[in-house]
Amino acid sequence: KVWESLGIPKDRIYYLSKDHNFWGPVGSKGPCGPDTEIYVDTGKPKCSLDCNITCSCGKYFEIWNNVFMQYNKDENGNYIELGRKCVDTGMGLERTIAFLQGKSSVYDTDAFMPIIKRIEYISGKIYGQKEDDDRCIRIISDHVKAACFILADSSAVFPSNLGQGYVLRRLIRRSIRYAKKLGIKSHFLADLVDSVEAIYRSFYNELTEKKDFIKKELSTEEEKFFKTLSQGEQEFIKITRNLPSKTIPGDIAFKLYDTYGFPYEVTEEL
């Protein structure tokens, strides 16, 4: 009714169930409420007669969400009206850029392509030719960008095994693991920092001011992980050499992680 009152035609308003249009809470309890999402039609043909905004074919593109924080869900599953309600609204900047630039993915926009081009140069792979390679390239570009912003932030988060530092470490090390899948065997992370900084230098001075620091931190973490992988792979070969099958027992996977810092994901890949 609100959208209708604002002049939006009825045929452009879709009613969706709670599964689609209810946000939260984070976890089992807390603030939550119904939401309304804003989509744009890319103009692509419908994938089927049933194609609508819930379809993942790419015809419809969500750029905005409005959450009406109306309830607090308690530990018993009851929804209690909040004494002070609010609207939590958020627009996807990169999604909006993709729409304005006529792209179907944020990775095809100028918010990512300079980073992707650099990864192409380093890896020798061409983005858009092979889906497995494309996925690796997207993960690396996304994670390295995130790592650069975290390191540039004034909150002083560093790669570690605890809290926020562990999130940063996972971003960096996952980038390295996917780089290995592209055939990148040497240090490369610092080489991508210039591409990230060039995209955002007009808006985020801290990226420029801390560029050398970011490169140093990424290179240091990269070196640590290369050593971890080298030691872990050697131990992996020794431990698994005499196993009766290709299935690795959980206690061995845990030992590789707990003793050598060897990621479960890498154990699974090997």
What pLDDT, in 10s, does the model give residues 20-29? 899 989 889 9
- Asked if pLDDT for residue 129 goes beyond 90, the answer is yes
Higher pLDDT, 76 or 265: 76
List, as own/partner pairs, every contact residues 36-45 make where C-beta atoms lie below 8 angstroms and the sequence separation is at least 24, other chains included: 36/2, 36/3, 36/65, 36/66, 36/68, 37/62, 37/64, 37/65, 37/66, 38/62, 38/63, 38/64, 38/65, 38/66, 39/63, 40/99, 42/99, 42/104, 44/104
- Asked if pLDDT for residue 241 goes beyond 70, the answer is yes
Which residues 6+ apart lie within 8 Å of 191 measured at CB? 118, 122
183 Cα distance to chain centroid: 22
Question: Mean pLDDT across the stretch 112-131?
Answer: 97
Q: Specify whether the CB–CB gap between 14 and 23 falls below 8 A.
A: no
Higher pLDDT, 251 or 173: 173
Residue 61's Cβ-side half-sphere holds a number of Cα atoms within 13 Å equal to 23
Looking at residue 101, what DSSP letter applies? T
Domains of the chain (ranges plus CATH)?
Answer: 2-100 (3.30.930.10), 112-223 (no CATH)
47-61, 230-244, 255-269: range with highest mean pLDDT: 47-61
d(CA 135, CA 139): 6
What's residue 270's pLDDT? Answer: 65
- Asked if pLDDT for residue 235 goes beyond 90, the answer is no
Confidence band, pLDDT 50/70/90 cuts, at residue 138: very high
* Joined tokens for residue 192: 């991508």
Q: Which of 152, 156, 175, 151 is nearest to 225 (CA)?
A: 175
What's residue 87's pLDDT? Answer: 94
Question: Mean pLDDT across the stretch 102-106?
Answer: 87
DSSP sequence for 39-54:
EEE--PPPSSTT--TT
* Joined tokens for residue 24: 């939260």
- Asked if pLDDT for residue 42 goes beyond 70, the answer is yes
What pLDDT, in 10s, does the model give residues 143-163? 999 999 999 998 889 999 889
